[in-house]
Structure 1
Amino acid sequence: MTAAAAPTTARARPAPPADLARRAAELEAADALGDLRGRFDLPDDGSVYLVGNSLGALPRAVAPAVADAVQRQWGRSRVGAWNTEGWWTAPQRVGDRIGALLGAAPGQVVVGDCTSVQLHKVHLAAAAEARRRGGPDGGDRSGGRRVVVADPGSFPTDLYVLASDARLAGLEVVLAPPQQVPAVLAARGEEVALVALSQVDYRTGELWDLPGLTRAAHDAGALVLWDLCHSAGVVPAGLDEHDVDYAVGCSYKFLNGGPGAPAWVYVPHRLQAGFANPVPGWNSAARPFAMTGDFSPAADVAVARTGTPQVISLLALEAALTAFDGVDVSAVRARSLSLTGFALEALDALVPEVEVVTPREPDRRGSALALRHPRAWGLARALHARGVEGDFRAPDVVRWGVAPLYLTHADVLAAVVALRAVLDAGEHEAAERSERPTVT
């Protein structure tokens, strides 16, 4: 997120080198995904929006869908819209649309609440599932598996929620970066209930090995939870194919659901009957309208629901997901790699003094680039003034989130050229002294 005002583009944009401009045009012409920018309501001020990893751009379908939801559905159908307009089933209906992008068959993803709440649900449900399964020999049901392995570099919310849930459930949290998780499993695998990781590191854009780490967790008898906030919609996850146990994610980044859009949770069919939702509500009951005092859980993915869904936000998200209509996520991934690969090529040629933290290998790169510089805050501010919107992560990283549906190779080249111009003019030095917002 950023608290900054919209960028200005008052400064004349330097022309890119002819060879790189030709290369950008060639890559764009060869891209199989095609031009989907028309599906988004983008300003025509020449700005380059590289914060899709914080808040996706506005799809054109959203505004009329929200207007219809408010004016016609709510305004005219009123309470009847729960039935006539499908409000009640929206969490599963929209969940299926997201599931299609994650490699999940219908009936396994439900939308609602926020990522923090979904993490809380899964942490405690996984702990209960581990207890139900028992110890390594299947006979110890006293809670022998009480360890949760998590990445210390996870987004802070993931760690905050996990620490609280560990206190509630009497779990031990072991912190280990993903590359060290197999060693932890080899040493303590019989104690591990859950491995909780993010598919993409939010700071660096590094992509972790979801299939391999899932297999390693399962080989040790542990469950696995993947946070896909920074990969859903731009990196294939293959949740069903790789037998992932649980996944969560937000929908306002690369899924373009809008600020505060509801999160989602994946619970595969094989785990739904035993999913011990720690926040049960009337929406997760088997017969919600029976209004009984005794809770009986739903037999499908609705068991992961809690309270009344955020209907307006849900319908906005449903409309936003039409930007993916007819698009295979593998093609989105290919375009993402082309865009970030070309950005690396341009950075090497024009700005070699800026360190690229993101791995260069395609199979280790998500859809964001992290650039390290001692004056990173000043660079972010000076680029913003030139119409290039990125964000800053303390202490020294500028992040560029590359959204393949609406960015072009010419866009990423323009961003690199602007970075070169900022450094040459020393604009980042003055901008470094500007006040830093409390929200970045």
Structure 2
Amino acid sequence: MSRKLFGTDGVRGQANTYPMTAEMALKMGAAAGRFFRRDGSAAHRVVIGKDTRLSGYMIENALTAGFTSTGMNVLLLGPVPTPAVGMLTHSMRADVGVMISASHNPAVDNGIKFFGPDGFKLNDDAELAIEAMTLDGVEPVQATSIGRAKRIDDGLFRYLERVKSTFPTDLWLDGLKVVIDCANGAAYKAAPAVLWELGAEVVSIGVEPNGLNINLGCGSTRPEAAVEKIREVGADVGICLDGDADRVILIDETGAIADGDQIMALFAKRWANEGRLQGRTLAATVMSNLGLERFLAESDIALHRTAVGDRHVVEAMRLGGFNLGGEQSGHIVMTDYATTGDGLIAGLQFLAEMVRTNQPASALAHNFETVPQVLKNVRFERGATPLDAPAVQAAIAAGEARLKGAGRLLIRKSGTEPLIRVMAEAEDEALMTAVVDDIVGAVQDAV
């Protein structure tokens, strides 16, 4: 069945524009409430968190109205990282959790992500059922059965304690100067507090959200500000989170950037050596660099590739019994600690490795030589289908023929933004660039 609302990570779009309107949020809340309250019994509850976007107020209120209209009791967490919602949905015995966030997208966008009672993101069947109910509408409960809403003041504290518990109890961060970039997002309170409580000297940036500056010139997609700050203050390492703190990019003491592939390589090899890597396998998406695959093979570690999206990574991990996975973009999923990507926990595990080995970040953050890779994006009008254009299909076929045996090509429509992503890998950089440019040009002509 084709999707009309849900993408690779929930429902996402520009705020106050379909489907991210108050009206649709109310309908989605009612649909999800009905879906998770199918037995009609009382005492059902939903946990709702959000990031720092201005539109979060509107969507939070609309979702609350939708859920309570179907008899669900709403527990409001306020601004918290996405992984906190997964954790608290499970620990508070809620039937469903919701995170209001568009992750790394600009402030004008917003999104709605759903978590099941086990704290994991919903599978395809559940999302499609909620989507159908959203579009068809549901019957509200009787007036005497309307749900209640309540603010949970200590939700962030519960999450902080859980995050700290993942750090080895015999280690401290004393003597480490850490730059933390919170992207003016959901972790602007949590991340500096955790690092300080574990003993680090903390230099914070991106911790002054105003509703409109989330991810603006900062965070995991714009690490230049953190690089500059590291060089300015002489920090040992930098941790860059995105708007909802479920992804991380690391920066070493020289200002060099390490993406999710490099972080996963470090963790996978250490865990394998310790006998902790279940199935001796790392789950990662088709976007991960060929260099990561070669690095893992040298250590007899398998790479299980999935479709793009951390939800697909987690599904593969659960099916295969794996406990480590992620994305090149910085989603690092460690199911020993969390049900979804958690940038802060991943950052702490990297810091623990620095302390444990007494090595600088530069010795740990660059584990393999990447195969040359280029990724270009083409924006298009929502609803358009540029990949169906004959000229685009011809350009893709020609590119695949040119790269056959020499590299790989991946073209896809983003599930979170109106973008066509064109990615290629090849040792021959000139050939790779030419192939990508030809396809990008064809897509631009089509849009």
Q: Please report the TM-score for the alignment, with normalisation by the length of structure 1.
A: 0.29
Higher relative contact order (CA 8 A, sep 6+): 1
Q: Which has the larger radius of gyration?
A: 1
Higher strand fraction (1 or 2): 2
Return the structure number with greater helix share. 1
